[in-house]
């Protein structure tokens, strides 16, 4: 992280784009203040018998379009400013792809890798006990994010239902399938980004086999977009996680590296057949070096704020597809635009996750499960429609894809705000 206030940076970007597009000031003001924010100390009995307290947060940002929706991350660098920024971006994202949700986000300041499985479960349940009156199927629906997963969501669902003494599968999304989760949810964020790249390829007229890709962040979303891109013919030449990265001019076999990472907890350039893996020629690189590689497509899929004014000039990729939330700071954006880099913004590129979370919520509320084919088909329809709408605005109004995405989303939110009446309405009454 760069050390700047990520929430203030997010607001600056929103206000700049809105001002340039002539968005009603009352709409912008409504999006400048989170509706509700809760901070809690979460008590957890550790395996050694001691009691520790962890900081937990949840922000419901804007609910004018529906109940709020957003992930929950466990990370040592979680801050209240970060949670608010993520909730703002989720508000933009849901409006952009046409979901009946507002934005929310949550987090716990913890390094989950230092906890035992039982400590992790106690922390997950403690979070829900603190937030039980703040979340709900018709109020605010959490989901997995950085270092949380379907098992943690299952614990949280169980705790919520025990507290409320009801069955409420739609209070949490990203759950195990047998607890009401949706097929296709695990791959949804990566698949959504892949669909955006396919839409971009169609418009830019490129051949996948001629494009080299670097992905910073080889977690769940990074893995799935890498897998789908490789299946489509793209060459994945670089991958990284929090510990560092690997680079090979000839590209990598994604499934082999994913298998090795999951079994050995290490990023290495390997090729595997069944359980036997052998090393292939590659270089070890750090995350900063990965960002500056001479590739066609750069995919930041880790944390926010990794591309700054200090390193933006070193970016050599022609296209950046943001799977992480807010990986490019607002001050770095003009540098990339001047260099001719096209950015597919996070609020569009990573919207597959919240879209399939919406599908899960709908399935839970209707009591009917969809097939994987239905989920993927509906996701493709949503992503294709959203990308086309953003592209059309960008070309017709001569704006960047990020600016077009924000304008489209804020206009939708603005229509809802106007339906309640704005200054113009009441001043003319």
Most confident of 1-5, 7-11, 192-196, 246-250: 192-196
Q: Is-contact 320 300, C-beta < 8 A?
A: yes
- In this prediction, residues 151-162 reach a mean pLDDT of 98
From 9-18, 91-100, 105-114, 264-273, the region with the lowest mean pLDDT: 264-273
- In this prediction, residues 97-116 reach a mean pLDDT of 97
Residue 424: half-sphere exposure toward Cβ, Cα within 13 Å: 7
> In the chain, helix, strand, coil percent, each to 5?
50, 20, 30
Q: Which CATH architecture has domain 34-169?
A: 3-Layer(aba) Sandwich (3.40)
- Give the separation between CA 356 and CA 375, rounded to whole angstroms: 7
Q: Where are the domains of the chain?
A: 34-169, 188-349
Minimal CA–CA distance to 97: which of 399, 365, 380, 421?
380
Confidence band for 265, pLDDT divided at 50, 70 and 90: confident
The pLDDT tens digits of the residues spanning 192-237 come to 999 999 999 999 999 999 999 999 999 999 999 999 999 999 999 9
What is the model's pLDDT at position 316?
97
Minimal CA–CA distance to 358: which of 64, 63, 70?
70
Q: Is the pLDDT of residue 277 over 80?
A: no
- Give the separation between CA 378 and CA 351, rounded to whole angstroms: 13
Average pLDDT, the chain: 94
Confidence band for 116, pLDDT divided at 50, 70 and 90: very high
pTM of the model: 0.93
Q: Domain 188-349 maps to which CATH number in 3.40.50.720, 3.90.660.10, 3.90.1150.10, 3.40.630.30? A: 3.40.50.720
What is the model's pLDDT at position 242?
85
CA 105 remoteness from chain centre: 11
| 188-349 and 34-169 share a CATH fold | yes
Q: From the candidates 69, 93, 105, 211, which is the catalytic residue?
A: 105
Does 94 or 259 have the greater pLDDT score? 94
The pLDDT tens digits of the residues spanning 387-412 come to 999 999 999 999 999 999 999 999 99
The pLDDT tens digits of the residues spanning 293-312 come to 999 999 999 988 999 999 99
- In this prediction, residues 45-50 reach a mean pLDDT of 98
Dihedral, CA of residue 335, residue 338, residue 341 and residue 345, to nearest 10: 60
CA 161 remoteness from chain centre: 27
> Quick check: is 105 catalytic?
yes
| DSSP assignment of 40-54 | EEEEEE-TTS-EEEE
DSSP state of 328: B
């Amino acid at each position: 992280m760069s050390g700047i206030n990520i929430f203030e940076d997010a607001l600056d970007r929103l206000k700049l784009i809105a001002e340039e597009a002539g968005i009603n000031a009352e709409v912008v003001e409504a999006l400048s203040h989170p509706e509700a924010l809760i901070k809690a100390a979460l008590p957890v009995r550790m395996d050694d018998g001691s009691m520790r307290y962890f900081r937990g947060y949840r922000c419901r940002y804007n609910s004018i379009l529906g109940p709020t929706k957003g992930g929950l991350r466990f990370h040592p660098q979680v801050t209240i400013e970060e949670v608010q920024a993520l909730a703002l971006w989720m508000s933009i994202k849901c409006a952009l792809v046409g979901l009946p949700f507002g934005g929310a986000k949550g987090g716990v300041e913890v390094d989950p890798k230092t906890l035992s499985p039982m400590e992790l479960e106690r922390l997950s349940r403690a979070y829900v006990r603190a937030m039980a009156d703040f979340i709900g199927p018709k109020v605010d629906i959490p989901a997995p994010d950085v270092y949380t997963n379907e098992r943690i969501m299952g614990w949280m669902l169980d705790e919520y239902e025990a507290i409320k003494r009801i069955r409420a599968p739609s209070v949490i999304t990203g759950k195990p399938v047998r607890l009401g989760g949706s097929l296709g949810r695990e791959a949804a964020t990566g698949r959504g980004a892949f669909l955006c790249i396919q839409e971009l390829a169609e418009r830019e007229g490129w051949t996948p086999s001629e494009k080299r890709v670097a992905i910073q962040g080889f977690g769940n979303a990074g893995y799935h977009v890498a897998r789908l891109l490789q299946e489509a013919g793209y060459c994945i030449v670089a991958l990284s996680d929090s510990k560092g990265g690997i680079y090979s001019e000839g590209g990598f076999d994604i499934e082999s590296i994913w298998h090795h990472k999951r079994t050995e907890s290490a990023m290495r350039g390997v090729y595997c057949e069944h359980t036997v893996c052998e090393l292939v020629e590659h270089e070890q690189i750090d995350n900063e070096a990965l960002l500056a590689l001479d590739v066609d497509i750069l995919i930041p899929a880790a944390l926010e704020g990794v591309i700054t004014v200090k390193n933006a000039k070193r970016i050599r990729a022609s296209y950046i597809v943001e799977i992480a939330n807010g990986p490019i700071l607002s001050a770095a954006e003009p540098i990339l635009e001047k260099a001719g880099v096209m950015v597919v913004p996070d609020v569009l590129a990573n919207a597959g996750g919240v879209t399939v979370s919406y599908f899960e919520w709908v399935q839970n509320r209707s009591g009917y499960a969809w097939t994987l084919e239905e989920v993927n088909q509906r996701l493709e329809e949503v992503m294709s429609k959203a990308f086309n709408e953003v592209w059309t605005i960008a070309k017709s109004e001569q704006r960047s894809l990020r600016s077009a995405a924000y304008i489209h989303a804020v206009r939708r939110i603005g229509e809802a705000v106007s339906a309640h009446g704005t200054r113009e309405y009441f001043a003319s009454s």
